[in-house]
Structure 1
Amino acid sequence: MRYFTPGPVHHRLGLVCLGVGMQHGVLPAVGPRTLDHHVAVVVSAGRGWCRDAEGQRHDVVAPALLWITPGVPHHFGADPAEGWDEAFVDFTGSAVAAYTELGCIEPGRPVVPLTDAGPARDAVARIARAARQGNPLLEIEAAAAVHELLVALRRVRADTTTGGAPVLEALAREAFLPLSVAEHAARHGMTAAELRAAVRRGAGCSPKDYLLGIRLGHAKELLAGTDLPVSAVARRVGYADPAYFSRLFTRRVGVPPVRFRERQGRAVPGGWSDTVPDPDHPPTIVSTTTRT
Structure 2
Amino acid sequence: MHHTWTRYLTPGPVHHRLGLVCLGVGLQHGTLPVVGPRVLGHHVAVLVTAGGGWYAGPDGRRHPVTAPALLWLTPGVPHHYGADPATGWDEAFVDFTGPATAAYAELGCIDADRPLVPLTDAAPARAVVARIAHAARHGNPLLEIETAAAVHELLVVLRRTRAGTGPAPGTDPVLTGLARDAFRPLTVAEHAARHGLTPAALRAAVHRATGRGPKDYLLTVRLDRAKELLAATELPVAAVARRVGYDDPAYFSRLFTRRVGTAPARFRTERARPAPGAPGGGVPGGGVPDPEHPPAPAGESV
TM-score category (smaller protein) = over 0.9
Cα RMSD of the aligned pairs, angstroms, is: 1.7
Mean CA deviation greater in 118-127 or 263-272: 263-272
Please tell me whether residue 140 in structure 1 is matched to residue 155 in structure 2: no
Please tell me whether residue 251 in structure 1 is matched to residue 240 in structure 2: no
Q: Which residue of 2 aligns with 1:83?
A: 88
Return the alpha-carbon distance in structure 2 between the equivalents of residues 191 and 151 of structure 1.
29
Question: Retained in 1: the 8 A contact 2:39–2:79?
Answer: yes
**Normalization by structure 1: what TM-score?**
0.92
- Give the partner amino acid of 1:251: R
Return the alpha-carbon distance in structure 2 between the equivalents of residues 55 and 279 of structure 1.
50
Which residue among 185, 189, 209 is the counterpart of 1:202? Answer: 209
Q: Which residue of 1 aligns with 2:129?
A: 124
Return the alpha-carbon distance in structure 2 between the equivalents of residues 79 and 278 of structure 1.
47
Q: 1:93 and 1:211, CA in 2 relative to 1: closer, same or farther beyond 3 A?
A: same
Q: Which residue of 1 aligns with 2:242?
A: 235
Aligned residues: 283
Deviations 1:38-66 (A, max 9, x none): 00011112111100112122111111110
Return the alpha-carbon distance in structure 2 between the equivalents of residues 256 and 179 of structure 1.
25
Q: Identity across aligned pairs (percent)? A: 71
Question: Retained in 2: the 8 A contact 1:26–1:80?
Answer: yes
- Within 5 Å, give how 1:126-205 maps onto structure 2: 126-162=131-167, 165-205=172-212
**Normalization by structure 2: what TM-score?**
0.89
Q: Describe the SS at the equivalent of 1:48.
A: strand
Return the alpha-carbon distance in structure 2 between the equivalents of residues 243 and 33 of structure 1.
57
Q: Which residue of 1 aligns with 2:282?
A: none
Residue 277 of structure 1 deviates from its aligned partner by 4.0
Return the alpha-carbon distance in structure 2 between the equivalents of residues 163 and 217 of structure 1.
22
- Within 5 Å, give how 1:1-292 maps onto structure 2: 1-162=6-167, 165-269=172-276, 271-275=286-290, 277-281=294-298
Q: Describe the SS at the equivalent of 1:44.
A: strand
Q: Describe the SS at the equivalent of 1:211.
A: helix
- Give the partner amino acid of 2:22: C
Return the alpha-carbon distance in structure 2 between the equivalents of residues 282 and 229 of structure 1.
37
Residue 279 of structure 1 deviates from its aligned partner by 4.6
Return the alpha-carbon distance in structure 1 between the equivalents of residues 67 and 178 of structure 2.
32
Deviations 1:146-181 (A, max 9, x none): 000000011111122438833222222222222111
- Give the partner amino acid of 1:12: R
Q: Gaps spanning 5+ residues in structure 1: where? A: 284-292
Q: Gaps spanning 5+ residues in structure 2: where? A: 1-5, 278-285
Residue 243 of structure 1 deviates from its aligned partner by 2.1
- Give the partner amino acid of 2:114: R
Mean CA deviation greater in 32-41 or 53-62: 53-62
- Give the partner amino acid of 1:218: R
Return the alpha-carbon distance in structure 1 between the equivalents of residues 287 and 63 of structure 2.
54
